[in-house]
Amino acid sequence: MNLAIKDIRHGLFRFVLTCLGLGLLMTVVLAMIGIYNGLVADALAVVKAPAADVWVVEAGTQGPFAEASSIPATTRDAVARMPGVAEAGAITYQTIEASHAGKTLRLYVIGFEPGRPGGPQRIAEGRGLGRSHFELVADRKTGLVPGETIRLGRDRFTVVGLVEDAMNSGGDPAVYVTLADTMTLQTTMDPAAARVQAARGDGGLRAPTVAAVIARLEPGADVALLTATVRQWKHLSALSQGEQEQLLLASVVDRARRQIGLFLGILLSVSAVMIALIIYTMTMEKLKQIATLKLIGAPDRTIVGLIVQQALILGISGLGIGLALILLVKDSFPRRVLLEPFNALVLTGIILIVCLVASGLGVRAALKVDPATALGG
Amino acid sequence: MVPGDILVDVRGVAKHYGEGETRVDALRSVDLRVHVGEVIALLGPSGSGKTTLLNVIGCILAPTAGRVELDGDAVFDGKWLRSDLRRLRLDKIGFIFQAHNLLPFLTAEENVSVVLDLAGWPSEKGRERARELLDYLEVGYRAKVKPALLSGGEAQRVAIARALANRPRIILADEPTAALDSGRAQLVMDLLRKLASEQKACIIAVTHDEKIFDRFDRLIHLRDGRLVDS
């Protein structure tokens, strides 16, 4: 006879409500884990998207994500000719706001040269850029659909394809356009502003610039040698893919990551205290019954089993409800909530340990109760 | 009576709480023998030591001094002689409580069979024995009902069934009729007497209920921790 199950079934409504409460708490914990993962994944997505081996950026900067970087567009040709480089592409990043369907969209515009590194790796819907101007591939979270048009700067672009999970570390969804179009976007000013500039005598031509040049290396090529060679050019610096990712995590998202991490720690502590309190209270309410069980001869293992099993059922049910809820609502969050099976596994481990430790308090109280309590005075 | 008939043998048992000026003597050199089939009552004012004596016999409370033998086994002689006191209670002692103390999350049948489950009976045999006892106590028709839905009399009969389930030879009862009306109290006592006789058990009950005094073989009076007469 399983006393734990019998007791739960006896007070099923109350137990379910308790599990639901714990489940909601677990939902918040899982949401925070998901947001934390999403933040890191989003930040890295934009760096990983071009599948580069080396990033060539402006000297003295940690661009193009941690700091602004501007190098001559012709750098791409110089890098492409270096020994060990299989292919190179120039790339620009720019955040702009655009109006669409009565709403203001904040977009992360990535300019690349079609046919060269820097474009989207996988098109989820539609096609990639086919023309050299006025087409764009957008992240699905922009809300844009293939065939739609949107005005960026002074030109109107047609959406030809959609990608997924392409955004910057701030969560702004990305749109891919040709490098030529982004250069126009960067340099084409409002006519009134252009007239003011011209009146000041600042109407001269400037050499086009890009944020970075990315290079993919031939198999067996030495990344360190290439970056060292690039750094010999006084106006350029080079970072390996690993360095770029580390730089992004350490500088751009580090504070937000630590903030969420700390909040997650507090949430887990609160959850642990809540679980401990619930289990302890559940046990204290049963002290007379436990005394009766002891009096009629129940061994300690029966009493410990009753408390520990209920604690584990409570914890696992709460976690299950939390998981179900977060999977149901995660796509409604404005930013990506990314949950890995590993996270659920670790949280399950933590909850099991918390339940066992918390039930220890209840077990201690139960084992101390005098069987004579059942007899009364 | 022959010596083998003695189920409870308490000799020179004393129990005190605290020391010095705060010392309270709950029991002072109590001697008591209860034989097979005997139904005895422990009487006395509040604080006289009735419950303490019941707890000592029930192996719930260690005396300060003395010797206790239950069903021929020495269980206390200055110290507990057995480490598995709960197993001893499970095998030899049945308890009936004033407030019946049925486990609220189990049905009447399960409240009885839980004892047998703890004693290691196969569950089907345990359920059979529980149903048999409940039928015998004329409460079998309430076997699947939880205690909250039982009347006071029904609950007390289920509690008696639980106390008897593992065929203990010593039944300790704390105010077994306190929650019952006069008629039901007489019935419960008659039933206990019958069971004691059939199962070759003894019954020791703490009671204040004068209406059932005639149902006991002996009335043991306690005052200030001493047996006054028996």
User: For A273, phi and psi rounded to 5 degrees?
Assistant: -65, -40
* A15 CB-near residues (< 8 Å, 6+ apart): A8, A314
Q: Are strands B202-206 and B73-77 parallel, antiparallel or unpaired?
A: unpaired
Which residues on B lie below 8 Å from A290 (Cβ)? none
Largest CA distance in chain B: 56
Nearest CB among B55, B110, B118 relative to A297 is that of B118
Structure tokens given for B154: 């029904």
Domain boundaries, chain B: 3-78+85-229
pLDDT for position A206: 63
Asked if the Cβ–Cβ distance from A297 to B115 is below 8 Å, we say yes
Band of residue B190 on the pLDDT scale cut at 50, 70, 90: confident
Distance between A367 CA and the closest CA of chain B, angstroms: 13
Residue A373 touches partner B, C-beta closer than 8 Å = no
Chain A residue nearest residue B84, CA to CA: A299
Interval B183-191 mean pLDDT: 81
Q: Is A372 on the interface with B (CB under 8 A)?
A: yes
pLDDT in tens, A253-293: 788 878 888 988 898 888 888 888 888 888 888 888 898 89
Q: A296 and B97 in contact by Cβ < 8 A? A: no
The A residues from 1 to 40 touching B (CB cutoff 8 Å) are 1, 3, 6-7, 9-11
Q: Are residues A295 and B110, on separate chains, in Cβ contact within 8 Å?
A: no
Instruction: Say which range, A27-36, A148-157, B17-26, has the weakest mean pLDDT.
Output: B17-26
| A260: nearest Cα among A10, A23, A28, A16 | A28
CA distance A209 to B85: 88
Residue B146 CB coordination number (10 Å)? 17
CB-count exposure of residue B137 (10 Å: 0-12, 13-18, 19+): buried
Instruction: Tell me whether A238 touches chain B (CB under 8 Å).
Output: no
Cβ distance A297 to B123 less than 8 Å, yes or no, reads no
* Secondary structure element (H or E) that encloses residue A100, with its range: strand A85-100
- Give mean pLDDT, residues B139-147: 91
Encode pLDDT of B67-121 as tens digits: 999 988 888 888 888 888 888 888 889 888 777 789 999 999 999 999 899 888 8
- The predicted-structure confidence for A309-368, as pLDDT tens digits, reads as follows 998 999 999 999 999 999 999 888 888 888 888 888 988 998 889 888 888 888 888 888
Q: Would the CB atoms of B58 and A295 count as touching at under 8 Å?
A: yes
Question: Of A298, A370, A374, which is closest to B86 when you measure between CB atoms?
Answer: A298
Nearest to B174 among A3, A302, A375 (CB): A375
For position A377, what pLDDT does the model report?
Answer: 44
Cβ-contact A175, A100 below 8 angstroms:
no
Chain mean pLDDT for chain A: 86
Global ipTM: 0.82
In the block, which residue shows the tokens 């918040």?
Answer: A28
Q: What is the mean pLDDT of residues A195-220?
A: 77
Contact A167, A45 (CB under 8 A): yes
Query: Does any CB of chain B come closer than 8 Å to the CB of residue A292?
Result: yes
Q: pLDDT-based confidence at B60, cuts 50/70/90? A: confident
| Residue B125 at interface with chain A, using a CB cutoff of 8 Å | no
Q: What is the band of A193 on the pLDDT scale with cuts at 50, 70, 90?
A: low
- CATH classification (class only), B3-78+85-229: alpha beta
- Cβ contacts (< 8 Å) between A375 and chain B: which residues? 51, 54-55, 58, 60, 95, 97, 174
Query: Which residues in chain B are closer than 8 Å to A377, comparing Cβ atoms?
Result: 51
Interface test with A, best of B46, B56, B100, B103 (most A CBs within 10 A): B103
Whole-number Cα distances in Å, A49 to A35, A176, A250: 20, 11, 19
